[in-house]
Chains A and B, each alone.
Chain A
Amino acid sequence: MIVRDPGAILVLIGGVLIYAFFYPLPYAREVLKESPVAVADLDRSQSSRTLTRMLDEHELLSVNRVATAAEARERVRDGKAAAAVVIPEGFARSLRRGEALQLPVFVDTAYFLTYRQVLSGVSEAAGTFSAGVELARGGHAFATRSGMRDPVQLMFRPLFNPAESYRQYVFPAVLVLILQQTMLVGIGMLHARRRAQSLASLLGAALVYVLLYAIHTALYFGLVYRGYGFEQRASWLAIAGLAAAFLPACAFLGFAFARLLSSREAAIPAVLLTSLPILFLAGFAWPAEAIPAPVRALGELVPTTHACLAFVRITITGAPLSAVFPQILKLVGLAGVYAVIALVGAPRGERTTEGTE
């Protein structure tokens, strides 16, 4: 049935492959660098020029020198700079006198990642400058005078995505979403308004999709992961175990969903319109802890809500399969529920798989 339908092939095979290449294109550079910062140097001293240079040399920042503080803030308001830094008049003099200095920084908050990178870059550059000043004053850069400054030190150690690649943050989970959504469209297109005649025929049909998508799963966690440089720490047995729960859940959901569709073409917009809410319910872009309980409960009905993070945990984080047993159980439960819904008595106007298209 699949083989005879070019539209279905386009989605079930073409779509899976094409989206794997197309979707992450915006994140190809992975990390946001060289964000524009407008610097107004009102002091024009050696020190202020050094500070400006340090800001520019930081990989996350790219300095545009402007004449006045007002001009710097205008650039931010126009969206041309992510932040405005104003080096006040008397900067060098205050430094010489050993006074503590405040450096005004005005940050645009419209784009979250930009805000984060700019703040990070400016903090680090200012910190380096600060340490240099202290060294010049004969103090220790990280003041260990009798442990008096910052007695409690804090050290951060990044795990699993040390480069903080935005692509690695988002895309592994999106791959799982692509698997689910394309399968739903494919099954929807081929089985719209139809009901399987028996459990046997439903299982048989579902098996075809599960096997096809088992191949896609292997492709995704093998080739695609390697192509994008994602660490793949799970054994193939673990991936198979999780997929064995996830794929049937998607397939049966597909058959259940197909019954609601008015026509085969309707599958495409119907599934597409669910994608954004489903993405944010999956717990990687927005933590599940922050989602109100009733909405979370709704999300539990969708396979990707359990599977996205489960796959990320076993592959990238290297969690053992036992860590995702709860998710596996829930997926098996969903598979059962949707299989029942897919089989339950035929409402009027519905054709069975025996009927001809």
Chain B
Amino acid sequence: MRSLAAALRREAGRLVRDRSWLAFALLAPLVAVSLLAAIFVREVPQELPVAVSDLDRSALSKKLVRMLDESPAIQVVRAADEAEAERLVVRGEAYAAVAIPRDFERSLKRGRHATVICAYNAQMMLPASLVRRAVRTVVGTLSAGVELRMRTARGATTAEAAARFEPLRLDVHTLFNPHLSYVLFLLTTLAAAVFQVAIVMSTIWTTAIELRDGTAEELLAVAGGPLRAVAAKAIPAAVIFTAGTIAAEAVLVAVFRLPLNFGLPLLAGCAAFALSSVAAGLAIALVTANLRFGLTVGAFYTGPALAFGGITFPLAGMTPLARGWSALLPLTHLIEVLAGALRGRVPSTPVLAMSAIFVVSLTAAAIRAPRVFSDPSFRGRR
């Protein structure tokens, strides 16, 4: 029977029997996102190795070393001297080298400054910044303690001694997720990046494989027309991936108790993402009209998508060329929706952008479909 319903039934039958599709569309994304969640589950890195060389060996310097080790972020690795400490950093066995100078305690007892030097591996930006913050906190605490004792020793009252004079201090309020560790929010965007790959690649697969295997004629016959054939490919994918994206993000938000407002704007964003990704996959499959080449183009489109998505390096910092390419990726816009959901205000432009991607892609697919499905020269090409 020639109809869309028949074509849909045929497609459904094909999908459940296609183990590759089941792997790409369902199993692999599930495994990948679960793995990513497991990777980030500890939220804040702790016990990062820091090499410490204590050239003073006084009560105060030993106290500093102990305080560093007690800091949850740091695990102290003792080094004989500065050179050895830096060697450990070079070898990758420590993220930073802290050097306590020879006259540390004596200088401070005499009312002079003492300087602790922290050489950090700036190549490892994230662990280094965590280590720096921890070292700053520990040294600051030690310094305040030393200062307090010195002032009270000089006869200042405790209150006067405790009042530190600094004209301008920052009163920093982190907005939107004060208790949340950042990586858990990042996880929602990484999951989206995984889905970007899965949706586009599996849609290219299920569409272009009919060309490789020479079954396009049958598809056309059952559907009764090229546009209905395209619809038969689009609709199951659209339904499955819209539901899947929403479900996965909802699970992440629930499990990690993310302060994301899962209301209509976020739902609309997820749906627009899934639909525009399916449409993009269809367009790639039908424009390339070749399974292997289509998948290669799909890999180029979705592989580096996370880098272009603007969550790691922001869009504002990209060149116009990179920003332009970013705009072509549904992922970029879903990330804007997710960030907006975090702030409690989802902008409307991302959904519009994804709708544009959807319309343009579907149009391209519809234009190519008649020729690609009926022309025998597109069949069996490897």
Using a CB–CB cutoff of 8 Å, the interface residues on chain A facing chain B are 7, 10-11, 18-19, 22-29, 31-33, 35-36, 73, 76-79, 95, 100-116, 119, 122-123, 126, 129-130, 133-134, 143-144, 146-162, 164, 166, 168-170, 185, 189, 262-266, 268-270, 272-277, 280-281, 284-287, 289-292, 294-295, 298, 309, 312-313, 316-320, 323-324
User: How far apart are the CA atoms of A281 and B32 in the complex, in Å?
Assistant: 12
- 1/0 per residue, CB under 8 A from A, across B156-195: the answer is 0000000111111111111111001011011000100110
Residues B39 and A157 in contact, CB atoms below 8 Å apart? no
A108 — nearest CB in chain B belongs to which residue? B175
Report which residue of A79, A114, A287, A317 has the largest number of chain B beta carbons within 10 angstroms of its beta carbon. A287
Complex: how many Å from CA A134 to CA B167? 7
Q: Most chain-B CB neighbours within 10 Å: which of A170, A276, A298?
A: A276
A157 touches B120 (CB 8 A): yes
* Secondary structure dominating the interface of B: helix
Binds A, one of B9-17, B266-274, B342-350, B354-362: B342-350
Q: Told that A18-B300, A100-B168, A106-B173 touch, could you supply 11 new A-B pairs with CB distance under 8 A?
A: A103-B171, A114-B314, A126-B168, A147-B110, A148-B111, A151-B113, A153-B115, A159-B123, A268-B296, A270-B23, A286-B126
Chain A residues, Cβ within 8 Å of B186: 112
For residue B302, which residues in chain A have a CB less than 8 angstroms away from its CB? 272
Are the C-beta atoms of A148 and B339 separated by less than 8 Å? Answer: no
Give chain B residues whose Cβ lies under 8 Å from the Cβ of A11.
296
Bound Cα distance from A128 to B342, whole angstroms: 33
Chain B, Cβ-Cβ closest to A95:
B167
List residues of B (290-332) whose CB comes within 8 Å of A's CBs: 291-293, 295-296, 298-300, 302-304, 306-308, 310-314, 316-319, 321-322, 325-326
Q: Is the CB of A110 within 8 A of B125?
A: no
- The 21 listed contacts between A and B (C-beta, < 8 Å) are A29-B318, A77-B343, A79-B345, A100-B166, A105-B171, A105-B172, A105-B173, A107-B174, A112-B186, A153-B116, A154-B116, A154-B135, A155-B116, A156-B132, A157-B117, A162-B122, A275-B303, A286-B40, A289-B49, A317-B121, A323-B91
Task: Kindly name the residue among B121, B146, B314 whose own CB sees the greatest number of chain A CB atoms within 10 A.
Answer: B314
Would you call A101 and B344 a contact (CB within 8 A)? Answer: no
Quick check: which of B197-205, B229-237, B244-252, B370-378 contacts chain A, the rest being far away? B197-205
CB distance from B282 to the nearest CB of A (A): 16
Q: Contact check, A265 vs B89: say whether CB atoms are below 8 A apart.
A: no
Q: A152, B164: Cβ atoms under 8 Å?
A: no
Give me the interface of B with A, judged by CB distance under 8 Å: 19-20, 23-24, 28-29, 32, 35-36, 38-42, 44-49, 86, 89-93, 95, 108, 110-127, 129, 132, 135-136, 139-140, 142-143, 146-147, 150-151, 163-177, 180, 182-183, 185-186, 190, 193-194, 197-198, 201-202, 205, 209, 212, 291-293, 295-296, 298-300, 302-304, 306-308, 310-314, 316-319, 321-322, 325-326, 336, 339-340, 342-345, 347, 382
Q: What is the distance, in angstroms, from A268's C-beta to the closest C-beta of chain B?
A: 4
Residue in chain A with minimal CB distance to B303: A272
What is the bound-complex CA distance between A166 and B307, given in angstroms? Answer: 11
Residues of B within 8 A of A153 (CB): 113-116, 143
Cβ-defined partner of A268 (8 Å) among B48, B110, B201: B201
Cβ of B376 to closest chain A Cβ, rounded Å: 20
Query: In whole angstroms, how far apart are the Cα atoms of A102 and B95 in the complex?
Result: 34
Q: With A7-B292, A111-B339, A266-B20 in contact, do A273 and B48 touch (Cβ < 8 Å)?
A: no
B313/A32 in contact, CB under 8 A: yes
B120 touching A290, Cβ below 8 Å: no
A23-B292 contact, Cβ under 8 Å, with A150-B147, A273-B198, A284-B124: no
Contacting pair B29 A22 (CB below 8 A): no
The residue on A at minimum CB distance from B19 is A262
Contact A108 B38 (CB under 8 A): no
Contact assessment for A123 and B118 in the assembled complex, using a CB-CB cutoff below 8 Å:
no
CB distance from B164 to the nearest CB of A (A): 7
CA distance A309 to B123 in the complex (A): 11
Asked if B170 and A103 make an inter-chain contact with CB atoms under 8 angstroms apart, the answer reads yes
Check A273–B28 contact: CB distance below 8 A: yes
CA distance A122 to B174 in the complex (A): 14
Among candidates A29, A107, A159, A285, residue contacting B172 with C-beta atoms closer than 8 Å: A107
Q: Which residue of B lies closest to A101 (CB)?
A: B168
Q: How far is the CA of A308 from the CA of B119 in the complex (A)?
A: 23
Query: In the complex the two chains form, is B168's CB within 8 Å of A295's CB?
Result: no
Contact between A155 and B170, CB atoms less than 8 A apart = no
Check if A103 sits within 8 Å of B168, measured CB to CB. Answer: yes
Q: A166 vs B75: C-alpha distance in the bound complex, in angstroms? A: 26
Instruction: Find out whether the CB atom of A290 lies under 8 angstroms from the CB atom of B296.
Output: no
B122 touches A287 (CB 8 A): no
